[in-house]
């Protein structure tokens, strides 16, 4: 199975020219790469400028970092799933912990975004993960928390039958994300346990096998340790995806992990 790497650029780089150079670099490194798919998720404002550079057959695709749940209307500042589709965007990240924290995104909002995106034909990358206080309470507490997040975020998924296989989950323990105060990556073994748990939960609740990725301070030094497990289908990479040297090494490592 191909490994899937999501490069989440967050609110960077600051200039479109830099974004174009970084994307072009990704495209060059990925030429003839059959084992890996890279999804680059730039800020909204760059998507239209970058979409003309990426071809449908390329193993580099574009994704958005967010979306709104209505297809049109008086929703100042929002972007609809239809608008993303019109730019040939295939993927959208939904429920990132930074949006949950700084924009007060609730599970109910995330659920509406997921259903609307799937109906529009987008592939959804749903982020879930616990904070440090929950992690300190132990594995059972983490599992309970994630089970509740998934239940609320994926409510109604069975009704969008043909689309439910278009969901990807990124397990991102909030404390492991590079910008959090306590940041250091999770251990691959602990991440593997939770990823297996997520997969079993989704199969039992929604009868669908989904790819699950790891995210949280993933970089060229640790990514191979996560991806060596077949159950970990890829990684969501933030900070390291903005550094040319890291992008080169990550692509090299991941290409040798896929099969
Ligand atoms: P990080 O970000 O790789 O910088 O920790 C991951 C994320 O927030 O998606």
Question: Which residue's CA lies nearest to atom 1 of ligand 1?
Answer: 238
- What is the reported pLDDT for 258? 56
- Once rounded to an integer, what is the mean pLDDT over residues 204-227? 95
Which domain CATH number covers 194? 3.20.20.70
Question: Which residue's CA lies nearest to atom 6 of ligand 1?
Answer: 238
From 63, 172, 222, 226, give the residue whose CB has the most ligand 1 atoms within 8 Å, as the site to mutate: 172
> Which one-letter DSSP state was computed for residue 12?
-
Q: Encode pLDDT of 15-72 as tens digits.
A: 999 999 999 999 999 887 888 999 999 999 999 999 988 887 788 999 999 999 999 9
- What is the reported pLDDT for 34? 80
25 token code pair: 């670099």
Cα torsion 226, 140, 210, 9: sign: negative
Q: CA separation (Å) from 160 to 115, 120, 165, 167, 209?
A: 8, 11, 10, 11, 15
CA 232–ligand 1 middle distance (angstroms): 16
DSSP states along 126-141: EEE---HHHHHT-HHH
226 near 191, Cβ under 8 Å?
yes
Atom of ligand 1 nearest to the CA of 176: 5
19 near 47, Cβ under 8 Å?
no
> How many domains is the chain partitioned into structurally?
1
**Quick check: is 189 catalytic?**
no
- What is the reported pLDDT for 69? 98
**Quick check: is 172 catalytic?**
yes
Q: Encode pLDDT of 103-148 as tens digits.
A: 999 999 999 999 999 999 999 999 999 999 999 999 999 999 999 9
Atom of ligand 1 nearest to the CA of 127: 9
| Listed residue (216, 59, 199) closest to 132, CA to CA | 216
Burial label, 51 (beta-carbon count in 10 A; 0-12, 13-18, 19+):
middle
Residues with CB under 6 A from ligand 1: 8, 172, 177-178, 215-218, 236-240
Question: d(Cα 35, Cα 1) in Å, to the nearest integer?
Answer: 8
Tell whether the model's pLDDT for residue 244 goes beyond 90.
yes
Question: d(Cα 90, Cα 96) in Å, to the nearest integer?
Answer: 18
Query: Residue 220's domain spans which residues?
Result: 3-257
CA 247–ligand 1 middle distance (angstroms): 14
């Amino acid at each position: 199975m191909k490994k899937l790497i999501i490069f989440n650029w967050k609110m960077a780089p600051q200039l479109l020219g830099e974004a174009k150079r970084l994307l072009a670099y990704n495209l060059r490194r990925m030429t003839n790469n059959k084992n890996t798919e890279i999804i680059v998720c730039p800020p909204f404002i760059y998507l239209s400028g970058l979409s003309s550079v990426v071809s449908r057959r390329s193993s580099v695709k574009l994704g958005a970092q967010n979306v709104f749940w209505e297809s049109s209307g008086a929703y100042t500042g929002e972007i609809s799933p239809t608008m993303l589709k019109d730019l040939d965007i295939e993927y959208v990240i939904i429920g990132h912990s930074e949006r949950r924290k700084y924009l007060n995104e609730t599970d109910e909002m995330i659920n509406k975004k997921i259903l609307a995106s799937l109906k529009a034909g987008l592939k959804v990358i749903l982020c879930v993960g616990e904070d440090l206080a929950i992690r300190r309470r132990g594995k059972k507490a983490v599992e309970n928390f994630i089970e509740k997040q998934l239940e609320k975020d994926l409510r109604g998924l069975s009704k969008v039958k043909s689309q439910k296989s278009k969901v990807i989950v990124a397990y991102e323990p909030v404390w492991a994300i590079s910008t959090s105060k306590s940041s250091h990556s999770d251990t691959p073994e602990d991440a593997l346990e939770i990823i297996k748990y997520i997969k079993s939960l989704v199969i039992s609740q929604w009868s669908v096998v989904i790819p699950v990725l790891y995210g949280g301070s993933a970089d060229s030094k640790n990514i191979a340790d996560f991806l060596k497990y077949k159950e970990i289908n890829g990684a969501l990479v933030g900070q390291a995806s903005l550094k040319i040297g890291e992008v080169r090494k990550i692509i090299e490592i991941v290409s040798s992990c896929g099969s």
